[in-house]
A = this chain, B = another copy of it.
Amino acid sequence: MPTTVGQYLLYRLKQLSVRHIFGVPGDFVLGFNKLIELTPDIEFINTCDEQGAGFAADAYARINGFGVICITYCVGGLKVANPVAEAFAEKSPVLVISGGPGVSERRENRLLHHRVRDFYTQKHVFDQLTVAATILDHGERAISEIDRVIQAVVDHNRPGYIELPRDMVNYPISMLEGSDPIRPTALPLGPRFNDMVSTALAMIDRAQTPVILVDAEIHRFRLHDTVRQFAETLNIPMAATVLGKSTISETHPLYIGVYEGGLGHDSVRDVVESSDCQILLGVLRSDMNTGVFTANLDPAKSIDLTYDRLIVGGDCVESIPMGVFLDALIQSGIAPKSSRFIPHPPEHRPFVPEPVPVSVRRVFDAVNSRLTEDMVVISDVGDALFGAMDLVIQSHTEFISPAYYASIGFAVPASVGAALASPARRPIVIVGDGAFQMTGNELSTAIRYGLTPIIIILNNGGYGTERPMLDGPFNDIFNWNYSRLPEIYNSGVGIKIRSEHDLNTAIDLAVNDDTQCYVLEVILDRHDRSDALNRLTAGLGAKV
């Protein structure tokens, strides 16, 4: 049984399957770092910068169901404001544990280093970025405050913040018996639940051409199996949004592809937009998800379910439990739909290199030809993401990307979190040069902990997403010898790739050697980009 506040916090984290905590130490958090070190089954992962810890914990949370950042006061905590905002925007259950000045030091109101305006500044910042935040400045309330914050994180799949004054780490608590693990609060069905189920069933029953559109919330609330079962039971085809890509296996026979409104493939668009019953599951109507608001989804013929509300035929009810609602549809006994012709993503095809310079499109062709179930694809923002829309993700492969919040620099540190959360899957990271210069150092963190990601750097000398919107020298990126970085970190293989033949050889080498990391630097023409990105930036550029 835990006997101190610090031990209790770690006890709760273990119940949530947390085996790794990401961060950078600092004097206000050293005592808690020591406690982590002494705790079996939880390992502290030192990143180069706190920003890297934030992105790593976000990726870890997306796979593991809960992720933790542990950093020091202000100089550490404020550095993770952006990754935590991303976790909030994209519904990733990340807990921030920040060390802080001791309660006794706060009473004396001393000008301790790392202080900004007052002792509450950092808490006030995280009030904006989390669903629950606390400072554990009262020993007697520490347990209930820890539980309150973790409960909110689990319920909303969004970040929480716990500030741990350094003199509270070893504050004694007394527990005679263990507590049950914290699980999501069961939402009440509400008086109109049965009505909504009946109306939805009637719509589905009437429909000739229903379609399911799946977004990331389904993944975050771990409902992918329920959704698959729902589609199979009623024989309804499924598309995914950009953000929801890979929530459903892309080799599933009912899977038709990624829907991106007017910017995506016509075959998928036709099925979704011509449908007489659009079943939207967790769909966030963001610009990226809707092809810059070119999506044509009709509320009158929609069943639109998200974690905070259900709309059926224009009628809205708040906070319906998603899983219970989907189960009711599955168990309704209505007749499955008759099969009809639906499109499918193209099969994997062998990559046959031509004697020509390499292009973005062909990088994705080459990756697609090698994708297996023991990989996790992590795309950064930009063409690393849009080009990836045509990858066919296998049933047990994960695909991870910050496709809504779109913070560049996510992918390399995320590969550390993903590889630790899911050791059986090797990360394939696709990242632009601009993003790599932000956080690519965290490759050394991967190496430090024996991970072996394959990092594919799309080196086009600039912010390629922005050039077609409005170009100037501000979009240029200073060139690095990326492929030589393994020499800096004393491990791994770097390869510079200029032709399709180079690409083919390098990818073969990398995929067949999982004993070390690979840095594949792909030299691209500065104006080369994927078709998807061309369509998107035309849409976004009109607003600049």
Contacts and interface: CB of A to CB of B under 8 A. Distances in A.
A543 interface: yes
Contact of A478 (B25, B26, B447, B475): B447
A37 B75 CA distance: 33
Nearest to A491: B478
A286 interface: yes
Nearest to A84: B78
Contact of A48 (B105, B437, B447, B488): B437
B474 A33 contact: yes
A128 B102 contact: no
Nearest to A483: B488
Contact of A474 (B44, B289, B473, B543): B44
A479 B447 CA distance: 11
Given A27-B540, A129-B121, A488-B488, A406 B285 contact: no
A113 B74 contact: no
Given A30-B544, A466-B30, A85 B89 contact: no
Contacts of A105: 543
A125 B488 contact: no
Interface in A203-221: none
Contacts of A111: 284-287, 289, 404
A215 to B, nearest CB: 12
A82 B74 CA distance: 7
A37 B474 CA distance: 8
A441 B445 contact: no
A311 interface: no
Interface residues of A, number: 91
Given A79-B82, A406-B113, A438-B49, A30 B89 contact: no
A298 interface: no
Contact of A406 (B75, B440, B544): B75
A7 interface: no
A117 B128 contact: yes
A121 B116 contact: no
Interface string A81-124: 11001101100000000000010010000111111110001001
A75 B82 contact: yes
A444 interface: yes
A288 interface: yes
Interface string A512-544: 000000000000000000000000000011011
Nearest to A445: B478
| Most B C-beta atoms less than 10 A away, residue of A88, A474, A482, A540 | A474
Given A437-B444, A543-B105, A404 B51 contact: no
A477 interface: yes
B488 A480 contact: yes
Contact of A487 (B110, B284, B407, B481): B481
B469 A116 contact: no
A117 B286 CA distance: 13
Cβ-closest 9 pairs across A and B: A78-B82, A111-B286, A48-B437, A75-B407, A448-B478, A49-B438, A81-B81, A78-B81, A113-B406
Given A48-B438, A437-B441, 10 more contacts: A27-B543, A31-B470, A33-B472, A74-B85, A74-B407, A102-B543, A116-B128, A441-B441, A480-B489, A481-B487
9 contacts: A24-B434, A25-B474, A33-B472, A46-B478, A81-B125, A111-B289, A113-B405, A115-B405, A437-B441
